[in-house]
A and B are shown apart, each in its own frame.
Chain A
Amino acid sequence: MTHDLRLTTQLGSLFLDVHAEFANEMIVISGENGAGKSTLLRCIAGLEEVSGQICMHGQQWLDSSAGFVLPTEQRKLGFVWSEAVLLPWLTIEKNIILGVDEESLLWFEQLVEQLEIKHLLKRKPDVLSTGEAQRVSLARAIYRKPSILLLDEPFSAQAPDIRARLRQALQRLQKQLQIPIILVSHDVEDAKVLAQKHWRMREGKLMVSINRHSREDGNPYFESTGE
């Protein structure tokens, strides 16, 4: 299943120009500050008004030429902001299951184990470290089994050892859910370890899209499909 993204729009001082196709794979976006990485995630999520077309899982999410916009609520996505967005009056457990009607205990247990937040479930967000809050945000976005996962610097506040384990966990979860995951990161290690596709952005434009395949000898090689 391939997904299609064609966005061309002026957003404030940024001119966003992104044309890309991708599969159910892990995509890492890198680029300078202000290149439009986070804005691109927000556009895919429908949190910004944008012109163009988005087709996900064979379903039209956006077709501005026909005046069609699928509301964010109906896109069933998982979104993680660069700063954890948690509701301070809910426990961590309640934050994670927010909005999910059919709770699955097994899936919940598996997720909180993998993201190393099981010990935090009964606490409130105000006692969490930044890294812990980030992992809880990630768990909430994944728990609802989204059709796409959009992550804005999800590991930026993690200690190096946890960061490595989280990358592995995210890879396992991607395989299990079979969804596209688009992750914005400044960390080259994220691109090296996680990216099946690596997008580089500059001034709102998707400059390079690199597919990474494994050769028979096990060494990865890169193939440019962009400009």
Chain B
Amino acid sequence: MIDSLIISLQLALTTTVLLLLIGLPLAYILAFKSFKGRTVLEIIVALPLVLPPTVLGYYVLLMIAPDSMLGSAWNMLFDSSLAFSFSGMVFASVLYSLPFAVQPMQQAFRAIPKNWLELIKAQSLNIKHRLLKVILPASKGGILVAAALSFAHTIGEFGVVLMVGGSIPGETKVASIALFEMVEMQQQSEAWMLALILLALSFVMLSVVYSINRSALNMGAAK
């Protein structure tokens, strides 16, 4: 049980960090730039919200299979298989939780007051100052919500990680899969304990999200 919890936490943490790194520029582009194909990009980002996890898992499996371009490149670089590995699960989780990271940040960027955006132009801020002095501090709430949701959503994954990672004990067996197997094997007390831990973890993460949202609302009201 502890092993699967640790793997879940490692997976959630790695996915969250990667999602912030990938999601930030993506959200910035979607919020501020107009270009051909923007709607298509927005749909692709939002797809995991409606796609059955098994469908996403199936496509990810095809993408990272040893004979695929990505799978063979990974094999050449790291001498290991991407399918049924922790790295493969990270790849799938990043795709699966992408909208949970991008959308809150995109909304936060769009909510930045117009005169702060005009200030960026009037003061000729370069991209570094633009981000560090204005955009990121102004969207701090949205970025924290994105991190919390990405983390919580990854902890709660089941279908995708089962398909992509298999359920290799100590390697790719995450807490949600361990719980499923405990129930199957009638290990009621262990299942009860693990479910309670996952419930508490989700509750804490959502509390963080709601308190950030509330303080953002209060700030908005105070403006």
Contact = CB atoms under 8 A, between A and B. Distances in A.
B137 interface: yes
B121 A72 contact: yes
B116 A98 contact: no
Given A81-B118, A99-B124, 15 more contacts: A45-B122, A46-B121, A47-B121, A47-B122, A73-B121, A73-B125, A79-B118, A81-B115, A87-B137, A94-B133, A98-B125, A99-B125, A99-B129, A99-B133, A144-B123
Main secondary structure of the interface of B (DSSP, over half): helix
Contacts of B138: 87
A72 B122 CA distance: 6
B119 interface: yes
A34 interface: no
A98 B123 contact: yes
Contacts of B119: 85, 87, 98
Interface of A: 45-47, 71-74, 76-79, 81, 83, 85, 87, 89-90, 94, 98-99, 140-141, 144
A85 to B, nearest CB: 5
B134 interface: yes
Contacts of B115: 81, 83, 85
11 contacts: A72-B124, A73-B121, A73-B124, A81-B118, A85-B119, A98-B129, A99-B123, A99-B124, A99-B125, A99-B126, A141-B122
A151 to B, nearest CB: 12
Contacts of B123: 98-99, 140, 144
Contacts of A72: 118, 121-122, 124
Most buried by B among A46, A98, A140: A98
B146 to A, nearest CB: 19
Which 7 pairs show the lowest CB-CB distances between chains A and B?
A99-B123, A72-B121, A79-B122, A73-B124, A85-B115, A89-B137, A99-B125
A133 to B, nearest CB: 13
A59 B115 CA distance: 26
A76 B124 CA distance: 7
A89 B116 CA distance: 12
Contacts of A81: 115, 118
A175 B186 CA distance: 87
Given A81-B115, A85-B116, A87-B116, A98 B133 contact: yes
Nearest to A140: B123
Contacts of A87: 116, 119, 133-134, 137-138
B180 to A, nearest CB: 45
Contacts of A47: 118, 121-122
Contacts of B134: 87
Which residue, B122, B126, B129, B133, has most C-beta atoms of chain A within 10 A?
A: B122
B117 to A, nearest CB: 10
B197 to A, nearest CB: 36
Given A87-B116, A99-B129, A77 B122 contact: yes
Nearest to B124: A73
A75 B116 CA distance: 18
Most buried by A among B123, B124, B125, B126: B123
A170 to B, nearest CB: 18
Contacts of A79: 118, 122
Interface string B112-156: 000110110111111001000110011000000000000000000
